[in-house]
A = this chain, B = another copy of it.
Amino acid sequence: MNVTVIGLGLIGGSIAISLRKRGFATHLVGVESSEAHAAQALKLGLVDEILPLAEAVTTADIVALAVPVNIAREMLPEILDNMKPDAAVVDVGSTKNGICTAIHNHPKRSQYVASHPMAGTEYSGPAAAVDRLFDGKKVIICEQELSAGFALKRVLAMYKTLKMDVLSYADAAAHDRHVAYVSHISHVSSFMLGLTVLEVEKSESHILDLAGTGFASTVRLAKSSPETWTPIFLQNADSVSHALEKYIENLQQFKSYIDTNNAEGLRKLMTEANEIKKIIK
* A interface residues, Cβ below 8 angstroms from B: 118-120, 137-138, 140, 167, 177-179, 181-183, 185-201, 204, 207-224, 226-227, 229-231, 233-234, 237, 240-241, 243-248, 250-252, 254-255, 258-259, 261, 263, 266-267, 269-277, 279-280
Contacts and interface: CB of A to CB of B under 8 A. Distances in A.
A234 B220 CA distance: 27
**Majority secondary structure, A binding face:** helix
A198 B138 CA distance: 20
16 contacts: A167-B209, A167-B210, A181-B201, A181-B207, A182-B210, A183-B212, A186-B193, A186-B214, A195-B269, A217-B221, A219-B280, A222-B274, A224-B274, A226-B266, A234-B261, A245-B255
A208 B276 CA distance: 10
A243 B258 CA distance: 12
A137 B212 contact: yes
Contacts of A255: 241, 244-245, 248
B181 A243 contact: no
B118 A212 contact: yes
Contacts of A223: 274, 276-277, 280
A126 to B, nearest CB: 18
A270 B210 contact: no
A237 B261 contact: yes
